[in-house]
Structures are given as C-alpha cells and as structure tokens.
Amino acid sequence: MTAAATERGTAATPGRRDPQGRGRGIPSHRRGSAWREARPALLFLSPWIVGFVVFTAWPMIYSAYLSLTDYDVINTPEFVGLENYAKLASDEKVLLALGNTALFTLMQVPLYVVVSLLLALLLDRAGRASGFFRTVFFLPKMTPPVAVGVLFLLLFNGQNGLVNTVLGWFGIDGPAWTTDPAWVKPGLVFMSLWTVGASVIILLAALRNVPETLYESARLDGAGFWRSAWSVTLPMISPALFFIIVVNTIAGFQTFDEAYTAFFGAGNTTYSNDAALFYVIYLFQQAFEFLNMGYASALAWLLFAIIMAVTAVQLIVSKRLVYYEGDR
Amino acid sequence: MNRTLRTAGLVGAAAMLLAGCAVGTGGGAGADADYDAEAAVEGELSIMGFSAVDEVAQARIDLAEAELEGVEVELIEGDLDIQQFLSAVATGEPPSLLYADRDQIGSLAARGAVVPLEQCIDGEGIEMDQFVESAVDQVTLEDEVYGIPEFNQVQITMANADLLQAAGVAIEDVNGSDRAAMTEANRKLAKVDGGKVSVIGVDSKLPEFLPLWVAGAGGSPISEDGRTAQLDSPEAIEALTWAVGIYDDQGGFAAVKAFRDSADFFGEGNQFATSTLGAMPMEQWYLNVLNDVSPDAPMAFDSVRGTDGEPIAFAGGSAWAIPSGADNPEAACRWARVMTSLDAWQAAADARLSAREAEGKPFTGILTGNTVADEAIREMVTSGGEPWDSGVTAMYEANDHTVALPANPADAEFEDAMQNAVNSVLNGEATPEEALAEAQETAQQALDEGWAEIDGGGD
C-alpha cells in the first residue's frame, strides 16, 4: 500500500482510526498536509531515532530484563525475580561505593563550577588573547581519561609528585594523595579540574551574552563590581551554571575512567583503595570481572534511579534560582 | 479490552525477544570434534589474546603455521580482553582458540566458556606429564584439564650487593628463610628521614606476593581441591602481619609505595642501579630487564626461600584453551599442541639465543612450563658472568619448587577478596586478623556459589 493510499484510508475512515474522536473537527486535507510536512522531518530525524532506539532505548530495556535474571554472559539468563535488588540492600560494598561517589560529587561539582567561573571571568577580560587561552584551557579535555588516570599517579605521587613539590616550596608537607584513604578522593577531585575547559567555554559564552546595558543601568544605580556580579552577572548566566551543575553532577555519579585506571587498572594492577571504589567501578567489577551481569544490571538501575531523583531535585530548586530571560 | 490484549501481546513478544537475545553458548561445543594428530586440518583459526610480540612468539608461530598448512590463522592480538571475549561468546561467535592467564581458566571452565581438553589431548597426543605440575593444576577443574599451559613465571630474590655489604647483611638474610632476620635486615638497609624514604630496605611486594609468603610459611590461601578458602589460617595471618611490618618499619606502605612508584622501573635509573632498594622478590623476567639496562648494577641473587630454608616460588603463566562453541576445535588443538611442543620451544630458544648473541648479551633461558623443554633450553644458556649466572641458577631452582593456586570456579572473586584484605591492612583500615577474616567469608561465599553451580549441574 502506498503512502498516498494510507493517507486516503485514514481520511476516509476517521471514526475507526480515532474511536475517541480526538481527530474530529480537523479537516482531512490539513491532516494530510501535516503528514507531508512530518515525513521529511522524520526522515532527517531517523538517524538519531534509530541510534536512540538501538544504542539507548533497547539496551536500557534489555538491562532492565537482565536485572531480573542470574546471567553470567556465557549461559542463558535465569529469571530470579527481584533477587538482585534484594541483594543490593545487603551488599556493604554498594553502600561504600555510593558513599564514595556521593562524597566525590559533593566535593567535585562546587569546586569545578567555581574554578570554571573564575577562569571564564578571567578569559572574559583577556581581550584578544582570550581565543588563545580558550584553546589552551580546552586542550586537556582532549586527553584520554586513561592517560589522566596515569598522570594523576605521577603528579600526585606523595614522595616526588609535582603537586607536593610545589606545595613544598611554600613549606607545606603534602599528603600521600594516592595511598592515604583520607586524601584519595580530594586528589581525584583536584585532578578532575584538568578537564575544566569545556565548562569554561560554556560560561564564557554566557558571560558574553549578558547585555552591556544591564551593567550600565546597574552602574547608574550606584552598583559596584560585586553588586553587579551578584545582581546582574549571576542571574544572567544562571541557566549556564545550572546546566554545568546538572551535567557535572551526573558525570560525578558516573565517575569511572580516571579512578579505575589509577587504582584498579593499568596504574595499579593489584593495589587498590576502598576510598576510590566508586559506584560505576563496582558495577564494572561485578559485570566484567565476576561475570555477575544480572546483578550489575540491577546496580545500573539503582544508579539510574538515584541520578533521576537528584536531577529532579535540582530541577525543582532551579525554578527558584535560575533566571530564564525568555520566561519573563 | 483490545488495548489490554495488545499490551499483553507486546510484553510477551518483548520477553520472548529478550530471552532469545541472551542465548549463551555455555555447555556444549567441540564435543563432536575429531581430534587426530595424523589428520589434516583446514579452515580458519581465530586466536584471541596472543601476540607475536618477540622472537620467542614469532619462532613458534612460524612453526605452528607450517604445521597447520592450509589453515588461515587470524591473531586477535593484545592481551586477552575478557570483555571482548565475553562479547564474542554472547553473540555466539567465540574465537577458535583462547590464550589466557592460567588463573582465569577455572572460572571460564566453571561457566562452560571453555571445553575440557581430554579428547584434544588424547587425539593430538599431547604429553601432559611433561608439563610443570603446578601449571597443570592451575588449569584442572574437577579432574578435567581445560588448558594447555605454557610459560612459568617464578619469583627470585634480587638484592643490591653494595647496600647489603654496607649494612652488614647477607643475601640469606633477605631471602625469606628467616623472617626475623629479614625484618632486622630491612631496618638496617632502609633510609627514612622525616617520613621520606630515600632507600627502601626490603620491599615485600604486597599485595601481589601474599600467596608467596603464605606458601613460604607452609600454608596455602586455598585448599588443594580449590573448594575451601584458607585466608584466615595462622600462616596467612602471620605472613601478612610480617610483610606489612616490613613497610611499617619504613614509615608505612604509603611512603614506600610513593617512593617505589617514582622509580624508573624499566630504565637505567632503576632502583637497584641507583642503590635505592636493598632487596625484593621479583619475577624472573626482571633479571633480563636489569641485565639489559644496567649490566653493571651490583646485584646479588638467590631463590626465595620458605621458613624451612627450601626454595619456593608462586608460579603463574598462560594457557591455551578452546572456547565453547569454537568453530574449528581441531585446528585449535593442533595449534596448542605445536606451540607447546619441544620443537617449538627449541626453535624459540634458538631465535632468542641468536638475538641475544647479536646484542652481545647472555641468553638467560626461558621457563616454558614444559619440563623437558626447560631442561633442553637450560643447556643452551650462555654465561653472563657473575652475578647474572647466579640469578639464572636461582631461577631454575625456583622453577623446580613451584606452587600455585588450584583452579576454582571463583578465581577472580577469590583474588579480589585476598587483595582487598591486604590493601585494607596496608591502608590502615583493618588489622590483618580483621581483614583476613572478612576476606575468608567473602571468598568462601564466592567459592561455595561457584562450586554449587558445578556440583548441581547448574547452567
């Protein structure tokens, strides 16, 4: 049947296709026109739709199914109901990994945002050199995360690392960042600043979009630098800040590459540190080291639920704190 | 009603689709293979986890390819990526042959990912009694052999003779035979100032070498049948307490590790050449590294010894295994047989000897995992003078006294539990008793679950 025939059929039997009568009152020629307009749109969107279905939606549905099974990747999954989810509650490592991940995120996101903002403010005043520095700040983002993990071990080596050497110039005896459980997460937080460039560029764009007229008005009203920053700059760039906070919170909960390389992979094949056992690392271990793919799927869905809940809270809070110019 | 039926239909179809996706391949493959050393083999042979990294590998590959004339060999190079392998298995397209660490074989066998090799061994006439016993134990689960072993890695004691002499200690004081003497030697050798280490006295190489120290005290982290964890045994607690004490006497593991990590391990500035390490147990391959990059380093060598004074080594190595569902098991078995044969090892030794002579360096031997080949190759070893000849002697001595963890269905979980215990002690989070008690519980639970699957015939 051709598309045209389908359209004719739809138009000729509206009652059968739409028993609730939602389509009544819309002239058939307008519906046909809408479909003609929709087709090219769907055609152009189809790569994304296919990609989403194949690489996102389907794996999600499949992992939901696997989370209800005992599956070792090699043999046929065996349905076990909610057993994997019950096991989550009694697994001490889940709590440890969640605690590590939450603490890392709580430390990393604020620091990341503050440093990004400071660098963006500096770049905003850098004049013609800002293009160069923008590139320089972004370059580390291109570094493979595995290399960053190894770099972490070198830079933060407690004995001869560059970080402690610099601290030593100021009379500070740096800690054992890579081995002392109390300093492992702070070390990883500092190392995460390596990739701050992407956020800097987003904030710089937001800063440059603040209309100069608002600053002029503020100055006429007697506002100084700090008052302008608080009452003009921050509200105007709050959508960008909110975006960075949400994205980095999600990234924080999914932290894996650098910590895995440094403490569970190539950097340390046998030595590890419970302080660096982040949630996704534990998930990975269950899936690919212990071959508990069913349990790992349940772990993934728990993380999904937590991220959804945290993001929902952030969205609710954002309604009070984020200013969208278009919403006036 | 129609809507309900439609929804139910969709859910049912999705469930069937989902179940169909994860068919798995465990259990059966290669059962109908016809292994015969005289028969010609053909087709394609995909090999995962093995690389032509050096002349030892290349010489054997050349020989195997000649023996398997007519077979198209595809090497999926690089160390075995277990994710890649599992993905291949899950999609029903496993490689024909797998090259894995021996300690991975037990878990793969327990899950049916690799097939028993009894027919392969019989058909190809592989003489299993030629292989190092501990190596065969590592690939034997429930009396079934699942891998053809090759290579043997053993530890020997390596020390800086100048530092030993300056501290007034002998190599016998740091070879593990007298642990009180080793502790004392460590204190004499180490240089620590203000919490900063400038010379490591003794590196007890935790967490990886705990099994070595346990074996040296006459114990084993796991029972011979691979069913019972023995991580909280008196030998294990004593070994861990002592080995951690070695670090504590130098300001703690954090300080020693930080210093160790800053060393140029593979270069001219290695710890022995720069006289920043007194002694440590280390795998034998490091002997060649040291000889290559710092031939003038003031070295002293001995076996690692148990508290009874006898040499001991905790062996590891690789193995060839045939995945379940492999499409050319006959060629895979032939390849495994040829690669581990005496002829192949002699070809490899010839190639290595030529390469070393061309570089003007001694040939220090190869530990093949095959005792007959080891003896033959030992005859080919060339002298590098002292102290290197003593190192080679220690290596062969260690090779004659190896122990290994037996195959078990939860080797990854077992090793993880053991290393977590050591790490938690090193990080100051638990005492040896507490850490090992927890590890014992975790490891035993994993073993029980793994064995229950096998004993119950679980899929």
Dihedral sign from CA coordinates of A266, A272, A278, A284: positive
Q: Do A288 and B83 touch (CB under 8 A)?
A: yes
pLDDT at residue A129, rounded to an integer: 80
**What is the tens place of the pLDDT at every residue in B38-95?**
888 889 999 999 988 899 999 999 999 999 988 999 988 777 888 888 888 878 889 9
B106 pLDDT tier (thresholds 50, 70, 90):
very high
pLDDT < 70: residue spans in chain A: 1-30, 266-270, 326-328
**What is the tens place of the pLDDT at every residue in B313-368?**
999 999 999 999 899 999 999 999 999 999 999 999 999 999 999 988 899 999 99
- B155-314+409-455 folds as D-Maltodextrin-Binding Protein; domain 2 (3.40.190)
Question: Chain A: which residues have CB within 8 Å of chain B?
Answer: 61-62, 65-66, 69, 71-78, 153, 157-161, 176, 178-181, 269-275, 285, 288-291
Helix spans in B36-99 (H): 55-67, 82-90
Q: Do B86 and A78 touch (CB under 8 A)?
A: no
What is the rounded CA–CA span in Å between residue B120 and residue B35?
Answer: 6
What is the rounded CA–CA span in Å between residue A258 and residue B424?
Answer: 21
**Closest approach of B360 to chain A, Cα-based (Å):** 33
Q: What percent of chain B has pLDDT over 90?
A: 73
In chain B, residues with a C-beta closer than 8 Å to the C-beta of A288 are 82-83, 86
Q: Answer yes or no: are the C-beta atoms of B276 and B294 closer than 8 Å.
A: no
Domains present along chain A, CATH in parentheses: 24-85 (no CATH), 90-327 (1.10.3720.10)
Residues 6+ apart with CB under 8 A from A183: A175, A176, A177
In chain A, residues with a C-beta closer than 8 Å to the C-beta of B21 are 62
**Closest approach of B108 to chain A, Cα-based (Å):** 9
DSSP A244: H
- B33-152+317-393 folds as D-Maltodextrin-Binding Protein; domain 2 (3.40.190)
Q: Do B208 and A270 touch (CB under 8 A)?
A: yes
H-helix or E-strand spanning residue B72: strand B71-76
Facing residue for B258 by CB, picked from A66, A77, A179: A179
What is the rounded CA–CA span in Å between residue B451 and residue A249?
Answer: 41
Facing residue for B258 by CB, picked from A74, A176, A291: A176
Q: Do B427 and A176 touch (CB under 8 A)?
A: no
The whole-number average pLDDT for the span B397-419 is 92
Q: Answer yes or no: are the C-beta atoms of B48 and B321 closer than 8 Å.
A: no
Q: From A71, which residue of chain B is nearest by alpha-carbon distance? A: B22
pLDDT at residue B31, rounded to an integer: 57
Interface test with B, best of A54, A58, A71, A73 (most B CBs within 10 A): A73
3-class state of residue A185 by DSSP: helix
B132 pLDDT tier (thresholds 50, 70, 90):
very high
DSSP A114: H
Please determine, for residue B7, whether its predicted confidence score (pLDDT) is greater than 50: no
Q: Do A75 and B14 touch (CB under 8 A)?
A: no
Facing residue for B259 by CB, picked from A71, A159, A289: A159
Facing residue for A160 by CB, picked from B25, B262, B423: B262
ipTM topping 0.90? no
In chain B, residues with a C-beta closer than 8 Å to the C-beta of A269 are 208
Distance (Å) of CA B175 to CA A62, A118, B156, B308: 54, 56, 8, 12
Interface test with A, best of B274, B277, B423 (most A CBs within 10 A): B423
Please determine, for residue B23, whether its predicted confidence score (pLDDT) is greater than 50: no
**What is the tens place of the pLDDT at every residue in B179-200?**
999 999 999 999 998 878 999 9
Domain locations in chain B as residue ranges: 33-152+317-393, 155-314+409-455
Query: pTM for the full model?
Result: 0.82
Please determine, for residue B142, whether its predicted confidence score (pLDDT) is greater than 50: yes
H-helix or E-strand spanning residue B75: strand B71-76
Q: Do A272 and B27 touch (CB under 8 A)?
A: no
- Cα-only R_g, chain B: 24
The DSSP bridge pattern shows strands B97-101 and B316-321 to be antiparallel
- Cα-only R_g, chain A: 26
Facing residue for A76 by CB, picked from B24, B83, B113: B24
In degrees to the nearest 10, what's the CA dihedral of A164, A165, A169, A172? 20
pLDDT at residue A139, rounded to an integer: 86
